[in-house]
Amino acid sequence: MNRPHRTYKEIKQEFSPEMRERISVGANQIRAELKIISTVRQAAGLTQAELADLLDVRQSYISQVESKENITLGTLINTIVAMGGSIDLTVNFPEKSPVQFSQIEASFLSNRKES
């Protein structure tokens, strides 16, 4: 019986060792870039302990959040607002004008208070 789809693991076996290495390097780069909270905290010149104080959480929680590859928009917004920042978001689609949102935290936080 023919399977209509192959898994990535199956497809990856067909790649040359050089291609697999390039994919691995690229994936690691993406993982590093996804450490948004850590990047923003460092840009603000804060330690994990200082950010924990601003958010009224334990430093170990900050460490845990920073090690995740995936965080919620709420976590990101609350963290940036606690550091005194704001968020502008640009959504890009192929062959269309970008859609831009300024200071999305104001809308996000007001919607949460109404809930």
Under 8 Å CB-to-CB from 55, ≥6 apart: which residues?
A: 61, 62, 78, 79, 82
pLDDT at residue 33, as a whole number: 65
Under 8 Å CB-to-CB from 15, ≥6 apart: which residues?
A: 23
Distance CA(82)–CA(65), nearest Å, equals 15
Per-residue pLDDT of 35-50, as tens digits, reads: 888 888 999 999 999 9
Report the chain's mean pLDDT, rounded to a whole number. Answer: 84
Over range 47-65, report the average pLDDT: 93
pLDDT at residue 112, as a whole number: 61
Tokens 């976590």 appear where?
Answer: 75
Over range 92-109, report the average pLDDT: 84
> Residue 60 — very low, low, confident or very high, per pLDDT cuts 50/70/90?
very high
CA 106 and chain centroid, separation? 20
CATH number belonging to the domain at 15-114, selected among 1.10.260.40, 3.40.190.150, 3.20.20.20, 3.40.640.10: 1.10.260.40
81: buried, middle or exposed (CB in 10 Å: 19+, 13-18, 0-12)? middle
Say what the pTM is.
0.60
